[in-house]
Amino acid sequence: MGSFLKESLVELVGEVVLKVIACLTVGGLALAFVWGWERSPLVTGGLGGALLAFLGYGGWELVRPARPGRRGRLAGVAAATFAVAALLVAYAWSCKCS
């Protein structure tokens, strides 16, 4: 019974930590976007578009059919970035900070 309680507690703490990180990340990105938009809307929009294109490339790399040969480093980084962003979005979705 003790190991079940310990495992449940560790899982609960892990969920809380992930939610806090997700909410802080969303809040930090929103603040960075507002700050950047006040300084230069053109640069902020360009960087936001580039980030969305990079995430889109990472998502495409995850779902496209496998091809023979080695995957490039950029493709691996884009896929990992997309996976982390998807995880943060999933946790931030339940965040009541908006």
46-78 pLDDT tens trace: 999 999 999 999 999 888 887 776 678 888 899
Which class for 38: exposed (0-12), middle (13-18), buried (19 or more C-beta within 10 A)?
A: exposed
**Is 44 inside a domain boundary?**
yes
Residue 73 in tokens: 């480093």
Domain annotation covers residue 97: no
Task: Write out pLDDT tens, residues 4-51.
Answer: 888 888 888 988 888 888 888 888 888 999 999 999 999 999 999 999
Token pair of 68, please?
């023979």
Q: What is the pLDDT of residue 89?
A: 83
Write out the residue range of the structural domain in which residue 34 sits: 2-92
Confidence at residue 50, expressed as pLDDT on a 0 to 100 scale: 95
Q: Angle, nearest 10°, between helix axes 73-92 and 2-39? A: 100
How many domains, the chain?
Answer: 1
